[in-house]
Amino acid sequence: MRCAVLVFPGSNCDYDLYKAANSVEGMEAVYVWYAGDSLNGFDAIMVPGGFSYGDALRAGALAARAPILKALRQAADSGVPVLGICNGFQILTECGLLPGALHRNSGLRFICDTVSLQVSNTATPFTSGYAERADIPLRFPIAHGEGNYTCNAETLRKLEDNGQIVFRYAGTNPNGSVDNIAGISNLKGNVLGMMPHPERAMTDWMGTSDGRILFESLRGR
């Protein structure tokens, strides 16, 4: 499986994602610069966390207008899996591939911690491997200042009715996200945006290996 890892000026988690994907047997990750215009030949596309240029304006706002985003939308529309993590989640909402918006954390502070997650939908290309662990909380790292997912009541109802809420915070909600949302998908299920970092949960020495299952699910779809 050939995966594109998008790189924006100022990105600081692209290498983490690149390394995580390449550590999974059967996956090959390749960097793609934000000024490119094609994502042909890739089986999956990954938008990394960290930061991107223009975040001082609003997280993901300028990156969502980068040249490569046209190709990203086309790939998503054709059914190619797209994974956006942290800042990548913000970019996916800013460009319209996912509904809602990410606001400042409710405590107005940057959070760096490990949280418990519940998988709410195991029928996506990213979460099928969690089916046997759907009732067991997962442990994922978070590191964000604008992870407070917000949407209106109608959008929330649609997300719930359509099974688009993929991850929820289990127990403590670290950032004030509506309905404890930690990750959502588009209606087709091939685009996933999530605030926690699966690429930082790949081996036991990291404190948790629960993120590896996400990449293995994607590879084995």
Radius of gyration of the chain (CA): 16
At CB < 8 A and 24+ separation, what contacts does 72-75 make?
A: 72/6, 72/39, 72/45, 72/47, 72/97, 73/97, 74/39, 75/39, 75/42, 75/45
Give yes or no: 95 in active site.
no
Is-catalytic flag, 86? Answer: yes
- Among the listed residues 86, 94, 146, 151, the single catalytic one is 86
Q: How far apart are CA 31 and CA 6, in angstroms?
A: 6
- Running DSSP on this structure, what letter comes out for residue 80? -
| Cβ(220)–Cβ(111) below 8 Å | no
Look at residues 33, 76, 30 and name the one whose alpha carbon lies nearest to residue 53.
33
Question: Residue 28 catalytic?
Answer: no
Which of 3, 94, 144, 199 does the annotation list as catalytic?
199
- Distance separating alpha carbons of residues 106 and 121, to the nearest angstrom: 26
Which listed residue (94, 95, 146, 197) is catalytic?
A: 197
Two tokens, residue 16: 């983490």
Q: How far apart are CA 55 and CA 15, in angstroms?
A: 19
- Count of CB atoms situated within 10 Å of the CB of 134: 13
Q: What is the DSSP letter of 208?
A: B
List active site positions.
86, 197, 199
